[in-house]
Amino acid sequence: MIDILVVDDHAVVREGLRYLLADGVEFAVVGEAASGQEALTYLRERRVDIILLDLFMPDSEGLRTLRLIKQQAPGVPVLLFSGAPEAEHALACLAAGAAGFASKDSDPAELRQAIRRVVAGDNYLGPGLAVQLARGEGGLGDPELRRLSAREREVMRGIARGESLTALAESLGLSIKTVSTHRRRLLDKLQLSGNAELVRYALRHGMD
């Protein structure tokens, strides 16, 4: 069972998420918070598997709340939840430790899949946001990117989209071992320390 804390200042949104996610089989909304401070208080007393956090709340700017949550509960993944997340918000929040974004326009199946991926340790970006970021500045004219093979760029795009190594291996027709090797070479060539930095790098350079 995946235990979820929902942080949103609108009661109707919290109730709706509870209704959509509390299936009694795979997901359980075990807590609700109407503000960043309430969320921090809750996390001091209880453990959850994932936090679904509204990016924009009146009492506390979402990015600040995210940073405080990551300081207090660094091992708990945070999935940002917003009506219309913009590319610049994505970059800042990924840098602050967010595991990904899901739009409030997502259908229930997409939201559930986002939660599964984030809890499994992957990053997740909704389709609309992924397109925005893919159209950002940068490109293969950058010297660092020219050092990458076509396959390495494919692996980077997949990781930036939040795909697991297993899913990438399947979509590219490769073994998981081969995909892992490409990932390791990416990190070595770009002098990055892990997936979070790799995602930030890919999004910053617009991998289209």
The answer to whether residues 126 and 155 belong to one domain is no
190 within 8 A of 145, measured Cβ to Cβ:
no
User: Which residue range forms the structural domain that includes residue 58?
Assistant: 2-132
The answer to whether residues 26 and 123 belong to one domain is yes
- From 100, 132, 164, the end of a domain falls on 132
DSSP string, 152-198: HHHHHHHHHTT--HHHHHHHHT--HHHHHHHHHHHHHHHT--SHHHH
**pLDDT, tens digit, for every residue of 157-196?**
888 877 888 888 887 888 999 999 999 998 988 888 888 8
Give the torsion sign (CA, 187, 190, 194, 199).
negative
Q: Where are the beta strands (DSSP E) in the chain?
A: 2-7, 27-33, 50-54, 78-82, 100-103
Considering only the C-alpha atoms of the chain, give the largest distance between any 2 of them, rounded to a whole number of Å.
51
Long-range contacts of 170-173 (CB under 8 A, 24+ apart): none
The answer to whether residues 101 and 148 belong to one domain is no
The answer to whether residues 22 and 86 belong to one domain is yes
Q: Of 83-92, 99-108, 144-153, give the range with the top mean pLDDT.
A: 99-108
Choice between 118 and 60, residue whose per-residue pLDDT is larger: 118
The answer to whether residues 193 and 104 belong to one domain is no
- From 132, 157, 192, the end of a domain falls on 132
- Residue 24 Cα distances to 18, 19, 189, angstroms: 11, 11, 45
**pLDDT, tens digit, for every residue of 27-48?**
999 999 999 899 999 999 999 9
The answer to whether residues 142 and 128 belong to one domain is no
The CATH number of residue 201's host domain is: 1.10.10.10
Using a pLDDT cut of 70, give the percent of the chain over it.
Answer: 81
Pairing of the two strands 50-54 and 27-33:
unpaired
pTM for the whole thing? 0.64
pLDDT at 140: 39
